[in-house]
Amino acid sequence: MKITEITTQTFTYTSHTTRDSEGHTHPGPAHEARQTLLRIATDEGIEGYAFGVNPDVIRGIVAPMLLGEHPFYRERIWQKLKERQRLHLGTLSDRVLSAVDQALWDLAGRALGQPVYKLLGGFRDKVPAYASTMCGDDLPGGLDTPEAYAEFALACKARGYPAFKLHTWQPPMPGAPDVKRDIAACTAVRAAVGDEMPLMLDPFHYYSREEALYLGRALEELHYYWMEEPMDEHSIASYVWLTEQLALPMVGPETAEGKMYTRAEWIVRGASEISRGGVGDLGGITPLVKTAHLCESFGVRMEVHGGGAANLHVLCAMGIPGEYYERGLLHPFVDYEQPAPWLNALEDAMDDEGFVHVSQKPGLGQEINFDYINSHLVK
Ligand code: MG
């Protein structure tokens, strides 16, 4: 089998979310947005798919490297792309590596008639989800006050989520960042849902050491389950300093560059109790699985960052927790139970007990709506 064609299709859809000046997602007025489908095709008629790529990068850098390769040589292809990043980091990001790697795993699953998680080595068919909120906002009735978070946590608990994670206020929201307001939101949520529900916090990412410690101590009092990224992750020393003083588990690194190598350094330095990574942060399914095995070898848990089919398949192939699937981002104004316009079904449908079930269809199992894509192409 040989890769014979690598193409992209950019199409429009109506989005109901916007990004603020720092890149955080919030509900917003309906507007036209764009998405891109990556398609890798072979001489045997088997294809693989992924979403979210820059067509110029695929055409200019990726396609010439992949044409003629056997699509099952995912490791060789990933290593080649990784080495090519050295002088092309401005365009060949880990997100690009991730999309290519996902499409190749999807292709392999379709070729072999198996879901990706079983090719990786299946461990389970469903994972409990936590409700992961959008960042705080100033929308009345949205996520604008501690009480609003408490109300939303109760709604998520009623929906069946076994756990709840707050993303609190970040700039440019008025008054953010504010450790005391974060603690007020965390306190209101704990009071609303009771003592048993696991709760997590992902606050502003550039607090000082002292602010992060103050916040962590408050979360210990509230019996929170973990905290993510309260400081710049480039300072491993700051996380060692914080972790030594808190019983509250720290989860990270999440956004720090460096794939599995960075996770290894954090483990060796004792910078967090629980490691972290997702297909988008690390550059695909291939390095996320390496990271899971790295963590297993050190007896360290790893929580998977972000949702989507590829992260779910890895979670279902991990023999260590990965305790939860991150479902979201959720907001009182957004209907998360509707699939994206380019999919015929949700890729992370959740049952009433709060379990997300992995698809048993070949590949990543995304039910792509090709009719929609073809009728909304950007010419
Ligand atoms: Mg996070």
**Residue 232: pLDDT band with limits 50, 70, 90:** very high
Mean of pLDDT values over 208-230? 98
* Cβ atoms 197, 230 nearer than 8 A: no
Query: Rounded to an integer, what is the distance from CA 100 to the centroid of its chain?
Result: 17
User: How many residues are recorded in the chain?
Assistant: 379
Dihedral Cα 159, 161, 162, 165, nearest 10 deg: -130
**pLDDT the model gives residue 45:** 98
Inter-axis angle of helices 209-221 and 236-245, nearest 10: 30
- Ligand 1 centroid vs 357 CA: distance in angstroms? 22
pLDDT of residue 4: 98
- In eight-state DSSP terms, residue 134 is P
The pTM assigned to this predicted structure is: 0.98
| Cα-to-centroid distance, 326 and ligand 1 (Å) | 10
Cα of 204 to ligand 1 centre, how many Å?
10
Radius of gyration, CA atoms only, the chain = 21
Residue 93 is classified by DSSP as -
User: Under a CB-based contact definition with an 8 Å cutoff, are residues 348 and 356 in contact?
Assistant: yes
Residue whose entry in the numeric block shows the structure tokens 């079904």: 345
Distance CA 12, CA 376 (A): 6
Percent of the chain whose pLDDT exceeds 90: 99
Q: Which amino acid is at 24?
A: H
Compute the distance from residue 229 Cα to the ligand 1 centre, in Å. Answer: 7
Position of tokens 């947005």?
Answer: 33
CB 142 within 8 A of CB 152: no
For residue range 53-63, what is the model confidence (pLDDT) as tens digits?
999 999 999 99
pLDDT tens across 205-215, in order? 999 999 999 99
Q: Which two tokens stand for residue 122?
A: 């299946």
What is the pLDDT at residue 233? 98
DSSP, collapsed to helix, strand or coil, labels residue 82 as helix
Give the 3-state secondary structure of residue 218. helix
Distance from Cα 170 to the centre of ligand 1, integer Å: 13
Q: How far is the CA of 51 from the centre of ligand 1 (A)?
A: 21
CA of 82 to the centre of ligand 1 (A): 24
d(CA 146, CA 85): 43
Residue 87 per-residue DSSP state = G
Cα four-point dihedral sign 281, 285, 287, 291? positive
What's the pLDDT at 202? 98
Tell me the CA–centroid distance for residue 250 and ligand 1, in Å: 11
Ligand 1 center–CA 101 separation, angstroms? 23
The number of CA neighbours under 13 Å toward the Cβ of 11 is 19
Ligand 1 centre and the CA of 281: distance in Å? 11
What is the mean pLDDT of the segment spanning 215-237?
A: 98
Cα(71) to centroid(ligand 1), Å: 32
The Å distance, Cα 365 to ligand 1 centre, comes to: 26
Per-residue pLDDT of 133-166, as tens digits, reads 999 999 999 999 999 999 999 999 999 999 999 9
Residues 88-123: b if buried by 16+ CB within 10 A, e if exposed: eeeebbbbbbbbbbbbbbbbbbbbeebbbbbbbeee
> Residue 130 Cα, ligand 1 centroid: separation in angstroms?
13
Q: What is the pLDDT of residue 379?
A: 85
pLDDT digits (tens, 9 = 90+) for 301-340: 999 999 999 999 999 999 888 999 999 999 999 999 999 9
- Amino acid identity for residue 71 in this structure: P
Structure tokens, 277: 């990574």
Residue 34: pLDDT band (50, 70, 90) is: very high
C-alpha angle 68/71/75, rounded to 5°? 110
pLDDT in tens, 109-122: 999 999 999 999 99
